[in-house]
Amino acid sequence: MPKIPRVTPAQFRWFALADFVAMILIVLSGAAVRLTGSGLGCPDWPQCYHHTPAHAWNIHPVIEFTNRLLSGTFGVLTLAVVLAALARSPRRRDLTWLSLGLVLGVVGDALLGEAVVYSKLNPWLVSVHMLISLAMVVLAANLYHRSKYLYGPGTRAEVRDARLQPLAPLFAVLLTIVLVVGSATTGSGPHAGNSRGQDVARRLPFALVNVAWAHSAVATFFVGLVAMLFVILWRQGAPAKIRNGVRRLLIIGALQGVLGFVQFAVHLPALLVELHVALATSLTIGVTQFWLAQTGRDREAGIGAPRS
């Protein structure tokens, strides 16, 4: 039997980074399918028209089937990350379980995508589809972070500021509420995912104006809390790692808020909504990294600076 090649920690980090980028692209490509009206471009799953990739090569089947090809490719990549975690030397249980969690997430998201197609873009399923994709970004961010640092018994786990630790889960809960309400806003708006001449997809049973204002209120509260924390940290000279993370959240959150008002004022053009999704993904990553930054750990040998 040929000997299985070993994967070093530095090599595995590149696998984790590739998977992290792939999960981000899944969110953005899925949003592009919806915003271009290509959600029903392929009426069958996993092929486009019964046993053929596409029946008519117009723009909507091409966009939808390309999204499926990307998702399949990223699924293979995620499986490769699991194999790399098993071949990693030394092997770490946390990296293996996170990799397996991503595989299950990709498979579950793909099956949910099938349900979305055959339900003619049920808005509840579409919203859950989006939220699961963002959850996989969180998992991938954790995997990439852990691939760079030492975890486990006997490793350094230094709490940077005990007063800030409760804020990390608070930010995560608030952002989850913002994302759920934001998903409901999109599900109540004009971008159902279908195009002209196709069956009109149902929308969520909420008045767009009401749910948009609710989304705005929750998002404003979130950004306001981040701004207040940033001022406090700056005055108290908090650890740079945490201070810089909060500054990033403040900048992205402020940009997201301005973009939200602008896109609603100009009647939700698809390009601005896609940018809004991209910033929401970046904000999700920022909150995840803020949580992870609460604890200082030593880096794996051969990966960057010795301490972080």
Is 2 domain-assigned?
A: no
| Mean pLDDT (the chain, rounded) | 86
Q: What is the pLDDT of residue 51?
A: 62
Q: Which single residue is written with the structure tokens 């990296």?
A: 95
Using one digit for the tens of pLDDT, what is the confidence trace for 122-131?
Answer: 888 888 999 9
Instruction: Please report the pLDDT score of residue 288 as a whole number.
Output: 94
- Identify how many contiguous H helices and E strands the chain contains and give both numbers: 8, 2
Summarize the confidence of residues 97-118 as an average pLDDT. 90
Confidence of residue 8 (pLDDT cuts 50, 70, 90): very high
Q: What is the mean pLDDT of residues 161-186?
A: 89
For residue 296, the SS3 value is: strand
- Structure-token pair, residue 107: 């498979």
Q: Containing H/E element for 18?
A: helix 9-35
| pLDDT of the residue at 1 | 46
Q: Which of 285, 283, 200, 281 is nearest to 29 (CA)?
A: 281
Q: Is 170 domain-assigned?
A: yes
Q: Residue 80's pLDDT is what? A: 95
Mean pLDDT of 269-277: 89
Domain limits for position 188? 9-151+161-296
Q: Which two tokens stand for residue 48?
A: 């486009």
Q: Across the strands, what pairs with 231?
A: none
Please list the helix, strand and coil fractions of the chain in percent, rounded to the nearest 5, in that order.
70, 5, 30
Residue 22 has a pLDDT of 95
Separation of CA 111 from chain center: 18
Instruction: Confirm whether 240 is domain-assigned.
Output: yes
Could you read off the pLDDT of 175-205 as tens digits, one per residue?
Answer: 999 999 998 888 887 776 555 544 556 778 8
How many domains are there within the chain?
Answer: 1
CA distance 299 to 149: 4
The verdict on residue 85 lying in a domain is yes
Report the alpha-carbon distance of residue 239 to residue 109 in Å, rounded. Answer: 38
| Each residue's pLDDT tens digit, 29-61 | 988 888 888 777 777 777 777 666 655 567 878
Residue located via tokens 């301005």 = 258
Domain assignment present for residue 81? The answer is yes
Amino acid at 301: A
Q: Which residue has the higher pLDDT, 284 or 298?
A: 284
CB atoms closer than 10 angstroms to residue 261:
11
What's the confidence (pLDDT) of residue 11? 92
- Considering only residues 111 and 192, tell me which one the structure prediction assigns the higher pLDDT: 111
- Sequence-distant contacts of 179-185: CB under 8 A, at least 24 apart: 179/131, 179/134, 179/280, 179/284, 180/131, 181/211, 181/214, 181/215, 181/218, 182/215, 182/219, 182/280, 183/127, 183/130, 183/131, 184/127, 184/211, 184/215, 185/211, 185/212, 185/214, 185/215
For the ranges 93-97, 104-108, 204-208, 302-306, the lowest mean pLDDT is seen at 302-306
Q: What's the confidence (pLDDT) of residue 81? A: 96
- Please tell me which of 65-69, 133-137, 240-244, 268-272 the model is most confident about, judged by mean pLDDT: 133-137
Place of tokens 């981040």: 226
- DSSP H/E element including 295: strand 295-296
Q: Give residue 243's pLDDT.
A: 84
In a domain, 172, yes or no: yes
What is the pLDDT averaged over residues 243-270?
89
Provide the pLDDT for residue 53: 60
Asked if the structure places residue 274 within a domain, the reply is: yes
Tell me which of 229 and 190 has the higher pLDDT.
229
- Candidate ranges 95-99, 202-206, 244-248; pick with highest mean pLDDT: 95-99
Distance CA 305, CA 308 (A): 7
Largest CA-CA distance found in the chain, in angstroms, rounded: 65
Determine the straight-line distance between the first and last CA of the chain, rounded to whole angstroms: 41
Residue 237 is assigned to a structural domain of this protein: yes
